[in-house]
Structure 1
């Protein structure tokens, strides 16, 4: 297990995730040729959860995409059987920047939930890969139903606090409220209480890990790559997704480009997406 050595300021800078209350994407504004101009598809037309992931459902979802997107969606083999992580027994949640493995796998995670692109459910169905959503309650509350088709398409919903504060600026009680109430309210919306947590901006301390544990979170996750404006940003050389890496996305205006860039990077590296939850005991 990785030691909690990252500072909040450094990890927040790498993340590209704004300070509390700032959820705007960095960099130039999307051009008229970006995915924001793609005709919206009706999320209510999503394949039911009982059918999602079948060969017929994937074929139908691919066929429903515009040709310009369909040819950008790679297909992956199934991931190998997972090997469970070892979690601490000291009253703190486990902390992981990546999954320690040599298996040819990587992990797709998406934070916040502010931009609700109507193409997301169709893309999730067409890609047919495991995805973990770390959702912020303030972003979810205006339209919690938006995420239900994503859940039906196979995405799992985990915890990212109520209001996206910098956790290291809060004491134990403040951190515990953000984590516990976030998990409780997500359970009411989506039927399952989260057991994984991502601290906003990657900012954490030992109090965060203790509060997360006390709220029923088994593990806290940061990341090894980020994505924005259709590009993948690497924290180390070589610039390639490596086995066990966790990739961070956000629900941002160029969501489609970001998601396709992540799929391409994983596929180019010869890896396949795996489900983060499967590796947690």
Structure 2
């Protein structure tokens, strides 16, 4: 598969600048601590209960459910409440990070600047969209994706804004329809919206007309709310067939994405090695444990020596 270097987008360059500023701020805070400044506690992570949604699991040999966590063949591992690269504790006084419900800015890992993306040229598939679980790149990056949008966690906009990392939102149109404005601050913070059908059905085995309606219809509705029309998609539960990929192609969607890791109640679960690999796609959802899940994904990426990157910079 050929690789083509391309310049970073304006949004990507802005995110890199913000991440570099956060790295410098963390270094200054650490210097202050060594000089004898008082430090406050690191915000703890709660594990809120999950809303009553249908959850499917999978073994490492098969696909995991898009509405729930994947289960690897070995024990699930968690990044834990702290890890390498965690920003210093909040400094007491006016200059310290602001505390939020279930997280603080001190909980957010600090990353090296993302590399200039090397765009992947996807192979032709004879009228069908390609379907991937990772991006074929050797660059030290991983990709966070967040599904559905039914539960609109009040802390998500502030957390994404504070983290200064890009994410991809695979949104279900029915979940967005009741409150599109909830997602606008997420987009302002660097999120990009992609298609996840209109009503979240299992597409596999359904007719071409049904699948095209779900995929084209969701892309059209999301474009109406957020201006940009999606170019990527994720079928609900990760379930698809040849008809899905043909319908997606006919809807103008360039690629579909599975995942390699899932996050649930603050724990990262792996389908292969118990470590995020370069190019891996990570799945989480808009759920009650959103802060714990998002921070766990960031810690897992940091522990692997990788940096969060934007999926669309590589494949869209």
Same topology, TM > 0.5: yes
- Are the structure 2 counterparts of residues 159 and 10 from structure 1 closer, same or farther at C-alpha, using a change threshold of 3 Å? farther
Q: Does residue 63 of structure 1 match 2:112?
A: no
**Bigger Rg, which one:** 2
Query: 1:15 aligns to what?
Result: 64
**Partners in 1 of 2:211 and 2:113 — Cα distance?**
37
In 2, are the aligned partners of 1:167 and 1:200 still within 8 Å (CA)?
A: yes
Ranges in structure 2 where 5+ consecutive residues have no aligned partner: 2-56, 71-95
Residue 87 (1) aligns with residue 136 (2): no
Corresponding residue to 2:205 among 163, 169, 178: 169
Give the secondary-structure state (helix, strand or coil) at the position aligned to 2:259. coil
> Over residues 203-230 of structure 1, what are the superposed CA-to-partner deviations in whole Å (9 max), with x where a residue is unaligned?
0111111110100101111100001011
Output the CA distance in 2 between the equivalents of 1:12 and 1:134: 24
Q: Does 1:253 align with 2:288?
A: yes
Out of 153, 159, 178, which is 2:214 matched to?
A: 178
Any conservation in 1 of the 2:168–2:193 contact (CA below 8 Å)?
Answer: yes
How far residue 171 of structure 1 moved from its aligned partner, in angstroms, is 1.2
Helix, strand or coil for the counterpart of 1:84?
Answer: strand
Cα RMSD of the aligned pairs, angstroms, is: 2.6
- Could you list the structure 1 runs, at least 4 aligned residues long, displaced by more than 6 angstroms after superposition: 8-13
Q: Report what 1:100 is aligned to.
A: 136
2:268 matches 1:243:
no
* Alpha-carbon distance, 1:13 to partner: 7.7
* Alpha-carbon distance in structure 1 between the residues aligned to 2:218 and 2:231: 11
TM-score (norm 1): 0.78
> CA separation of 1:258/1:68 partners in 2, compared to 1, >3 Å: closer, same or farther?
closer
- More moved, 257-266 vs 62-71: 62-71
User: Structure 1 residue 25: deviation in Å?
Assistant: 8.4
Cα distance in 2 for partners of 1:149, 1:118 equals: 11
Aligned 8 A contact 1:11 1:201 in 2: no
- 1-side partners of 2:276 and 2:197: how far apart? 28
C-alpha contact (below 8 Å) 2:165/2:308 kept by paired residues: yes
**Could you tell me how far 1:280 is from its partner in structure 2?**
1.6
C-alpha spacing 1:229/1:199, structure 2 compared with 1 (3 Å): same
1:262 Cα deviation after fit? 0.3
CA distance 1:280–1:16, shift in 2 (3 Å): closer
Q: What SS is found at the alignment partner of 2:237?
A: helix
- Cα distance in 1 between the residues matched to 2:121 and 2:230: 19
How many correspondences in the alignment? 236
Give the aligned partner of residue 76 of structure 1. 111
Tell me which residue corresponds to 1:279.
314
